[in-house]
Amino acid sequence: MTTTRIDRKFAALKAEGRPALVTFITAGDPGFEAGLEIVKALPGAGADVIELGMPFSDPMADGPAVQAGGLRALKAGQTMVKTLEMVRRFREGDDTTPIVLMGYYNPIYSYGNERFLKDAKDAGVDGLIIVDLPPEADDELCLPAMEVGINFIRLATPTTDEARLPAVLENTSGFVYYVSITGITGSAAPDADAVGRAVGRIKAKTDLPVAVGFGVRTAEQARAIGAAADGVVVGSAIVDTIRASLDAANGATAETVPSVTRLVSALAEGVRSARLQDA
């Protein structure tokens, strides 16, 4: 497939000699307009790649923070149509920051796989992370996505052993997402040394960038993980920050966007200093 915004972004950062800061928020949390304002503010605060969660009623792999964010979005009326609209609106002002949609298969399957890929491509989506679509199901969405020029980003986990890694990597494109812990999003803090070894193990088998997530919350952790990884994913900490800024009715306040950009700026500092000590 042709190069995507994801490929170009990671190539540019490699030239800069630093890892990417990948930020996750749920589309439509706390509402459509407020969510759009947050997404628009992310690149300026230092986010290199944006993961936009497609809310789902049954997020089996997510911890309490992301679960709650998804419910807030659904309660505020978020749908797949609105999520794609949000990407389109973001693209009007930003044609370089990659957007990866992350979530579960059913809302896509319900929308219709073919229609979804077309509409996502048209809206300006660059990649997909679908938690419950393993390589065994590649013919359903992964291969068709590659055909329309959307990266399908695979999760590798601590349980992905040497025998299985090639299958996981086979049709992956854009980057590989290494899940740093066995668990749900936002739980235990990852051990930077173990993560470093795992990233090395994956990089021995692929030329793709490897981003690391699940459990990274602070600038310090981002710095430590970023020493070995090509990207650091932060999700639950941002979603928690959104929650903390809301009013009693879960509506956005004047603090919502600034509190997110403050956190993202700090994380970006962490990521940018990740390689300095080694240099």
Partner 1 sequence: MTVQPNTYRSGPDERGFFGIFGGRYVAETLMPLILSLEEAWTAAKADPEFAAELKVLSKDYAGRPSPLYFAERLTEHLGGAKIYFKRDELNHTGSHKINNTLGQILLARRMGKTRIIAETGAGQHGVATATVCARFGLPCVVYMGATDVERQKPNVFRMKLLGAEIVPVTAGAGTLKDAMNEALRDWVTNVESTYYLIGTAAGPHPYPEMVRDFQSVIGEEAKAQLAEAEGRLPDAVVACVGGGSNAIGLFHPFLDDTSVAIYGVEAGGKGLEGDEHCASLNAGRPGVLHGNRTYLLQDDDGQILEGHSISAGLDYPGIGPEHSHLKDIGRVTYVPATDDEALEAFQLCTKLEGIIPALEPAHALAHVMKLAPTMDKDQIIVMNMCGRGDKDVFAVAGHLGMDI
How does DSSP assign 129-178, residue by residue?
Answer: EETT--GGGTTTTHHHHHHHT-EEPPEE-TT--TTTHHHHHHT--S-EEE
Phi, psi of 233, deg, nearest 5: -100, 125
Q: Which is nearer to partner 1, 108 or 150 (CB)?
A: 108
Catalytic residue among 51, 119, 138, 240: 51
Q: How far apart are CA 12 and CA 4, in angstroms?
A: 12
Which of 183, 196, 218, 266 binds partner 1 (CB under 8 A)? It is 183
Residue 9 near residue 48 (C-beta atoms within 8 A): yes
Q: How many residues bind partner 1 (CB under 8 A)?
A: 41
Q: Which of 3, 14, 44, 137 binds partner 1 (CB under 8 A)?
A: 137
Backbone phi, then psi, for 101, in 5-degree steps? -85, 130
What does DSSP assign to residue 275?
T
**CB nearer partner 1, residue 134 or residue 144:** 134
In whole angstroms, the minimum distance from the beta carbon of 78 to partner 1 comes to 9
For partner 1, what does the binding mask look like between residues 156 and 175, x meaning CB under 8 A?
xxxxxx--x---x-------
With 0-12 / 13-18 / 19 or more C-beta atoms within 10 angstroms meaning exposed / middle / buried, residue 209 is buried
The alpha carbon of 270 is separated from its chain's Cα centroid by a whole number of angstroms, namely 18
Tell whether residue 59 is a contact of partner 1 (CB under 8 A): yes
Q: Which of 79, 113, 171, 273 binds partner 1 (CB under 8 A)?
A: 79
- Six-digit token string for 112: 């219709």
CB 67 within 8 A of CB 186: no
Stretch that binds partner 1, among 58-66, 196-204, 205-213, 264-272 (CB under 8 A): 58-66
> Do the beta carbons of residue 176 and residue 209 sit within 8 Å?
yes
Select from 41-49, 57-65, 199-207, 219-227 the region that touches partner 1 (CB under 8 A). Answer: 57-65
Residue 114, CA distances (Å) to 5, 57, 80, 111, 145 in order:
21, 22, 14, 9, 9
Binding residues among 116-135 for partner 1 as defined by CB under 8 A = 131-134
- Out of 30, 63, 174, 190, the residue judged to bind partner 1 by CB under 8 A: 63
62 is catalytic: yes
Q: Which is catalytic among the residues 62, 126, 138, 230?
A: 62
When binding is defined by CB under 8 A, the residue of 49, 123, 184, 233 that contacts partner 1 is: 184
Kindly report the backbone phi and psi dihedral angles of residue 136, in degrees, each rounded to the nearest multiple of 5, phi listed first.
-60, -20
Instruction: Rank residues 94 and 132 by Cβ distance to partner 1 and give the closer one.
Output: 132
What are the residue numbers of the active site? 51, 62
Binding site for partner 1 (CB under 8 A): 56-61, 63, 67, 74, 79-81, 104-111, 131-134, 136-137, 154-161, 164, 168, 179, 182-184, 187
